[in-house]
Amino acid sequence: MHKIAVAENMQRLLAQEDTDGDRCITVRDRGPKRFEATCEEGEPLLVEGTYQLANLLQELALARRAGRDALQIDVEKLRQNPLDRLSSAIRSRCWNGLTRRMDARGLAKVLQDPKSDGQLRLYVPSSDPAALAYYQELGDCQVILMPETVTPDYVVGLNHQPGLLTLAMRDGQPLPYLVPGGRFNEMYGWDSYFIALGLLEDDRAELAEAILEHFLYQIEHYGAILNANRTYYLTRSQPPFLTSLARALQVSGKLLERVVQAARFEYQQVWMSPTRLMDCGLSRYFCSGYGMPPETLMRHYGQLLQPYAERHGLTVEAFRWEYEERRIVPLELDDYFCEDRSVRESGHDTSYRLEGVATQLCPVDLNSLLYRYEMDMAELDCAQADEWRARARQRKGLMDRYCWDAEAGQYFDYNWRTGRHTGFESCTNLFPLWAGLASPKQAGELVKWLLPHLEQEGGLAGGSLESRGPLGPGRSPRQWDYPYGWAPHQILVWSGLEAYGYAEDCSRLAFKWLRMMTQTAMDYNGLVPEKYDVVRCSHEVKAEYANVGAEFDYVALEGFGWTNASYQVGLNYLDEEQLQQLRCLRCSDADEVKS
């Protein structure tokens, strides 16, 4: 063990090794990659190579955060194999870093929203007087009671006074929830399901159970599991995983009764509602709100709004205000933003698969999830088990009729308006494997024909290169398309492949993804981001939005929710040889270290 002064060694380490000034030590830095940490007793501690230097920086930063002047460090901790170090960081640090609480200590933090006007507002549903009393007593923000009936007009009226929405409480205290990471301080719908899977892997069942409670609360008080608990998300949901989470938690007793009641409501009032159930019998994503999504930066829509602003002799910002106040209402803009918001309900914002046609599609992903929902309910809702199985059989028949292409050997989204499927090759076309909807023959066709078009060096891309098409002026990259890959896709496809007996394919894909994650963490100071370029095996994603989780100082305290989960879940699919390969990975610049 070596005892080293935190402040002095951290300052010297950064001055010598952080040559690009980003407050991390990575393969991009051009320092000597050889540092002597001053010890309080004995010889200096010699640390060499990007990986060990970054680990030292992280340990010093954690000690400083804990208020310690000195750090007791075992050199073997700096040399710990990258698999165990990353998995341990997720388990012991990242889940805690992502946990938020809407109580006296945590409320001020979660109310912060970079997309708002700076005012701290908390909205409480009229059906929750206990929450109203609790937050009024705290007095830390403006507490606003919502009307009994929340309409799209009411929601759009909140665009200029947005706020956070309350979540579940127990015994008079708000339950914790987890955020995706980075700038996000709210609980997101489908993110939370995958986060819960990671929590269960790491024996944090109490947090996974809290997520389920928040799901139930949102259905009871807001009528749906929301995109996220901010006012501007009140008119849209996200991909449905309530029943799958309940089964993962093995709920029983009174909690099971509550789940069944909530699931019946969500199924009928959200996913089988007149706005989402099409005449063909399959469902679509549909956001009932209108106007520009307030959570999206103005620069995404400036070019679109410019001609309308000029037509009315207004600046773009002034036109936006008039449009949101519904004093100027171009119907074609309403149609555009309905499509845009519905893409966001799908969770796949954005992709050329959905852009401009989201409401016209009965997508493979949503209807696969609903098939799984129906089969889950056949197990959870014993009183109506036969009815749920009949619904599932009907949905499978409709999917085979409208979405299955025998010639291509895969499912495609069905455009109910044109009466044809789209032909767009997406990772979501593999969701029937996770859902158990595909026949063994169909599963074999998917593995034979679709999987090779999506598999890359770092795992599965969101779609094929051919389906994405060429890029250029006026056609920029979309973050859910090729060459980018996302954790939820990997997790669902791994599970589906294993369920259909394709264990070798499952293991190979999981290894590719985890190898990319491990190498990135080694090379970039413990980085775990939202998404990856799976062709280049890189965290550098140059499409639309920044790669959340990629920016931090000294030590990654959070990672990114579902990406963390994919690592912990993915380890289960690897054999010992693959695990050993991950343990033996070396930093990309290992051969360049100066002597």
**532 - beta bridge partners?**
485
Pairing label, strands 45-48, 34-37? antiparallel
E strands, 245-308, where? none
For the chain, how many residues are written? 595
CB atoms within 10 A of CB 64: 16
Peptide bond into 483 cis (omega under 30): yes
Gap between the Cα atoms of 511 and 115, Å rounded: 37
Q: How far is CA 354 from CA 191, 286, 415, 467, in A?
A: 19, 12, 11, 12
Question: Which of 128, 202, 445, 530 is flagged as catalytic?
Answer: 530
Q: Is position 349 annotated as part of the catalytic site?
A: yes
Gap between the Cα atoms of 246 and 409, Å rounded: 33
Residues 291, 156 contacting (CB under 8 angstroms): yes
Query: Quick one: tokens of 285?
Result: 């994503």
Give the position of tokens 């890959």.
Answer: 485
For the stretch 504-512, contacts whose Cβ atoms lie closer than 8 Å and that sit 24 or more positions apart, written own/partner, are 505/447, 505/451, 506/573, 507/573, 507/574, 507/575, 507/578, 509/455, 509/459, 509/460, 510/459, 510/570, 510/573, 510/574, 511/573, 511/574, 511/578, 511/581, 511/582, 512/455, 512/456, 512/457, 512/458, 512/459
CB atoms within 10 A of CB 434: 24
Question: Which of 186, 202, 340, 349 is flagged as catalytic?
Answer: 349
> Please, what is the Cα angle at 546 between 491 and 560, to 5 degrees?
40
404 HSE (CA, 13 A, CB side): 18
DSSP conformational letter for 165: E
Q: Is position 530 annotated as part of the catalytic site?
A: yes
Q: Which residues are catalytic?
A: 349, 530
